[in-house]
Copies of this chain bind each other. A is one copy, B any other.
């Protein structure tokens, strides 16, 4: 909760920034999904039957989420999170902050709506946020070449060892890049500003869409597309196909290649094109 004194402080704070004035312009620019009348957004309580993976038992969990800080690296290189602590324990008796957050910051979701008129983050069916994890390890080739991409051959090699990708799979690219998250190598920009980090190859996406039944993909880098992509082919093919992706996933190296289940706590904000997401891996 936010005790009474708080709302005045927030009003002052937002007023100081002009946010209350800016808010008038928000409605006009909101995406369609965010304009759905609230009445249509009342929770309809439903029980969802889990995919087979949901029937498994687990004894261990890995947090696949980076801690998001105001200086967390971003695709564009600009700061995308600001935190303003409005209330402090010493002065106000409790701590409370306001965030100014670009949805695509930290370990975050790209919803279909990010690159299409498809579902926003809040509209993704729950059963598509829980599924069997397939970790495809391309660390060796990524270490040799930061422009490496996850190809159909990498998927085939995984299947040769672990069998066909399960229905409803969440397919993760393990490039080892999360180890660079607090160094310049995470963006790995060259003198011209071009970035060099791994991503999915468009042919691997076509394979997943045409010949498999995956619901989402993970990358441990800043983009579903590799850093040198000039056309964001993966974003423009995968997301409009009513699929989602997660960028900047952490700790994939701690997960087994096969047999684990992930729970993807995506943002449930109306009209969100994505947003910070808490992800747990169970095994």
Contact = CB atoms under 8 A, between A and B. Distances in A.
A165 B269 CA distance: 33
Interface residues of A, number: 119
Interface string A168-181: 00000000001001
Given A38-B182, A85-B29, A235-B94, A61 B19 contact: no
Contact of A54 (B58, B83, B113): B58
A259 interface: no
Nearest to A27: B70
A270 B69 contact: yes
Interface in A31-75: 31, 34, 38-39, 41-43, 45-50, 54-63, 65-71, 74-75
A247 interface: yes
Contact of A80 (B10, B61, B80): B10
Which has the most chain B C-beta neighbours within 10 Å: A29, A130, A277?
Answer: A29
A160 interface: no
Nearest to A270: B69
A249 to B, nearest CB: 10
Nearest to A22: B17
A150 interface: no
B50 A61 contact: yes
Nearest to A63: B126
B26 A268 contact: no
Interface string A112-125: 01111100001000
Contacts of A152: none
B268 A280 contact: no
Interface string A6-23: 110011001011110011
B97 A103 contact: yes
24 contacts: A1-B225, A2-B76, A3-B232, A10-B76, A10-B102, A14-B82, A16-B22, A17-B17, A17-B22, A26-B82, A26-B83, A34-B85, A41-B67, A45-B62, A45-B251, A49-B59, A49-B60, A50-B59, A54-B58, A67-B269, A68-B270, A95-B113, A97-B103, A129-B280
Q: When A and B form their complex, which 6 residue pairs have the shortest distance between CB atoms, in order from nearest?
A: A265-B265, A7-B76, A265-B278, A1-B223, A1-B75, A45-B251
